[in-house]
Structure 1
Amino acid sequence: MIGMAHERRLAEIFVEVADSLVEDFDVIDLLHRLSARCVELLDVSAAGILLADAHGELQIIAASDEHTRLLELFALQHDQGPCVECYRTGAARTNIDLARAEATTDWPRFTARARETGYVTTHAIPLRLRSRVVGALNLFQTTPQRLGDDDIALAQALADVATIAILQQRTLEQSHVENSQLETALTSRILIEQVKGVLAERWDTSVDHAFEAFRSYARARHLRLTHLATRIISGDFDTAAIPAPPPEGPDGHAG
């Protein structure tokens, strides 16, 4: 049974999301926050939102963290994995035991990499609105504890919010605008990947810490991530203005 504190936190998060869905909102930042909220609310280890590109291949758009091994795991699912099946069928795939032979047979590269990374269970929830499926929400667990029906329903609700954020409700019926929005979101992610690399090299730090410093700077100044990324890539912004992250310790964490 969900406790009162959990219910209160759930209400706060949906209010936070509703407040974000204003005109010209920053969809990439919102999707990152939704990924982090999945980890918080569902007691999973990691979450990512994958979006289908113009060729129907899934691309990572946001994740609960930017660790390279996790992003590589999402990237593997452009052609195999539970999210590919979820996207193609529009049906959720939940409580998948990555130790079972079926998972290894169906998705050999994905399953091997997931287990190497320490994950034992995964879930794929469709990003859909009516009959349209645009991607999938991928959840990972390092423990074999199952997600119950209530948790899966909550995961679908969070995936539905992500879908609305991506498509923007006021233009859902206009397919040409809808397709343009999908491409814009994917292009934004590519720009941010480039900036992460630039800043990580400048500061000699991990891309995860570089992204957090970049995102913190943008949010503190109410700048859209994509706009700031565009300025950095074009040379129109001096990255020295962004405070560098703390130096990393020997374990790879910020000191």
Structure 2
Amino acid sequence: MDIRGQGARRIFVELADTLVEGFDLGAFLDILARRCAGLPGVVSCGLLLAGLGGAPAAVGASGEPARVLGRRQLRDREGPGMDCLRSGRPVSCSDLERAAVWWPAFAPAAREAGFAAVHTVPMRLRADVIGAVSLFRRVPGPLAAETLESARAMADVAAVGLVHERIVREKKLLAERLRAQLDGRAPAGGADRPPF
């Protein structure tokens, strides 16, 4: 997928457009993952999204193998997405054959799923890392710098959209809570916070 020109504009608008009625976080993460999976040299993509307090809380994927690997990272607390969320830096493994030292559960599972390499970039808004985007390859080796740059750009635009959507959602929840309290229909206290 070439993300220059008209195609790029459509993709970036799609990734920034989170202020729609009935916004679906899971579907949005899957769209981002599918767009990233279409980059040159990438066959699949998985995402981890940090929740409140930084703990990973959501998974998006371009397909079932990447989704299973994302859930495994959440369960086992290891893998490139977890490392990227912790450090805030890109994590690259050009050969998953050699990665069992770092990721004893993730690396064999990724190889079994048919992946030979993974490159993960942070999803950030300024200094805040809100997620990790893992780009999987079927062959060992690095990704082209342009591919990594494109993935970072898509992840950053999506992060802006997600944070903006969260702010708007929190304001709506607060307004509803205040309205209910003023109407005497609800006890003082907080409504549940959004998942991220």
Over 3 Å counting, the alpha-carbon distance change for 1:53 and 1:22 in structure 2 is: closer
Name 1:10's counterpart in structure 2: 8
Name 1:120's counterpart in structure 2: 116
Name 1:22's counterpart in structure 2: 19
Q: Structure 1 residue 160: deviation in Å? A: 0.9
Unpaired runs of 5+ residues, structure 2, are 175-191
Instruction: Using structure 1 for the length normalisation, give the TM-score.
Output: 0.59
Name 1:201's counterpart in structure 2: none
* One-letter amino acid of the structure 1 residue matched with residue 34 of structure 2: A
Name 1:83's counterpart in structure 2: 81
Name 1:46's counterpart in structure 2: 44
Name 1:148's counterpart in structure 2: 144
Over 3 Å counting, the alpha-carbon distance change for 1:56 and 1:17 in structure 2 is: closer
Structure 1 stretches of 4+ moved >4 Å: none
How many residue pairs match? The answer is 173
Q: Structure 1 residue 134: deviation in Å? A: 1.8
Name 1:180's counterpart in structure 2: 193
Q: Structure 1 residue 95: deviation in Å? A: 4.6
Structure 1 or 2: more helix by fraction: 1
* One-letter amino acid of the structure 1 residue matched with residue 84 of structure 2: C
Instruction: Using structure 2 for the length normalisation, give the TM-score.
Output: 0.74
Whole-Å Cα distance in 1 between the matches of residues 53 and 166 of structure 2?
25
Mapping 1:50-199, distance limit 5 Å: 50-54=48-52, 56-65=54-63, 67=64, 69-78=65-74, 79-100=77-98, 103-168=99-164, 171=167, 180-181=193-194, 183=195
1:109-155 Cα shifts (integer Å, max 9, x gaps) = 10010111110000111121122112211111112242122111111
Unpaired runs of 5+ residues, structure 1, are 186-255
Specify the SS of the correspondent of 1:140: strand
1:24-74 Cα shifts (integer Å, max 9, x gaps) = 343332222111111113441111221123464424432112x2x432211
Whole-Å Cα distance in 2 between the matches of residues 122 and 96 of structure 1?
6
Q: Structure 1 residue 84: deviation in Å? A: 1.3
Over 3 Å counting, the alpha-carbon distance change for 1:35 and 1:126 in structure 2 is: same
Name 1:209's counterpart in structure 2: none
Contact 1:60–1:71, Cα closer than 8 Å, also in 2: no
Whole-Å Cα distance in 1 between the matches of residues 61 and 141 of structure 2?
22
Name 2:184's counterpart in structure 1: none
Whole-Å Cα distance in 2 between the matches of residues 6 and 157 of structure 1?
12
Contact 1:51–1:61, Cα closer than 8 Å, also in 2: yes
C-alpha RMSD of the superposition = 2.9
Over 3 Å counting, the alpha-carbon distance change for 1:53 and 1:14 in structure 2 is: closer
- Percent identical pairs in the alignment equals 33
Specify the SS of the correspondent of 1:143: coil
* One-letter amino acid of the structure 2 residue matched with residue 143 of structure 1: V
Name the structure, 1 or 2, with higher relative contact order (CA <8 Å, separation 6+). 2
Whole-Å Cα distance in 1 between the matches of residues 55 and 165 of structure 2?
23
Contact 1:27–1:165, Cα closer than 8 Å, also in 2: no
Whole-Å Cα distance in 2 between the matches of residues 41 and 70 of structure 1?
15
Whole-Å Cα distance in 1 between the matches of residues 154 and 121 of structure 2?
10
